[in-house]
Structure 1
Amino acid sequence: MPRGGARAVSGPPPDPRSLRSTKAIDKGGWRTLPAEGRQGEPPEWPLTTPAERELDLWHDLWVKPQAVAWEDMGQELEVALFVRTLAEAERADARVDVKKMVRGYLDSLGMSVAGMNRNRWKIAPAVEEPAETAEPVRRPSARDRLKVVPSGEGA
Structure 2
Amino acid sequence: MPRGGARAVSGPPPDPRSLRSVKAADKGGWRTLPAEGREGEPPEWPLTTAADRELDLWEDLWSKPQAVAWEDMGQELEVALFVRTLAEAERADARVDVKKMVRGYLDSLGLSVAGMNRNRWKIAPALEVPAAEVQAPATPIRRASARDRLKVVPSGEGS
TM-score tier by shorter-chain length is: 0.7 to 0.9
Counterparts of 1:75 and 1:11 in 2: how far apart (Å)?
Answer: 25
RMSD: 1.3
Cα distance in 1 for partners of 2:6, 2:23 equals 20
Whole-Å separation in 1 of the counterparts to 2:80 and 2:54: 8
Q: Residue by residue, what CA displacement relative to the aligned partner does 1:5-53 show, whole Å, maximum 9, x if unpaired?
A: 2111011000011111112112211000000000000000000000000
50 and 2 in structure 1: CA distance in 2 versus 1, 3 angstrom threshold: same
| 1:4 corresponds to 2:4 | yes
Q: CA deviation at 1:133?
A: 5.3
Alignment of 1:2-151 (within 5 A): 2-132=2-132
Structure 2 counterpart of 1:130, one-letter code: P
Q: Distance in 2 between matches of 1:65 and 1:8?
A: 24
Per the TM alignment, residue 2 of structure 1 is displaced from its structure 2 partner at its CA by: 2.6
Aligned equivalents of 2:87, 2:111: Cα separation in 1:
16
Partner Cα distance (2:133, 2:77) in 1:
46
Q: 4+ runs of 1 displaced by more than 3 Å? A: 131-134
Name stretches of at least 5 consecutive residues in structure 2 with no aligned partner.
Answer: 135-159
Q: In 2, distance between residues paired with 1:51 and 1:7?
A: 36
Question: What TM-score do the two structures reach when normalised by structure 2?
Answer: 0.81
Aligned residues: 134
The letter for the 2-side match of 1:50 is A
Q: Is the radius of gyration larger for structure 1 or structure 2?
A: 1
CA distance 1:23–1:133, shift in 2 (3 Å): closer
Query: Normalized against structure 1, the TM-score is what?
Result: 0.83
Q: CA deviation at 1:3?
A: 2.3
Q: Deviations over 1:93-132 (max 9, x none)?
A: 0000000000000000000000000000000000122243
Structure 1: which 5+ runs fail to align? Answer: 135-155
The letter of the residue matching 2:60 is D
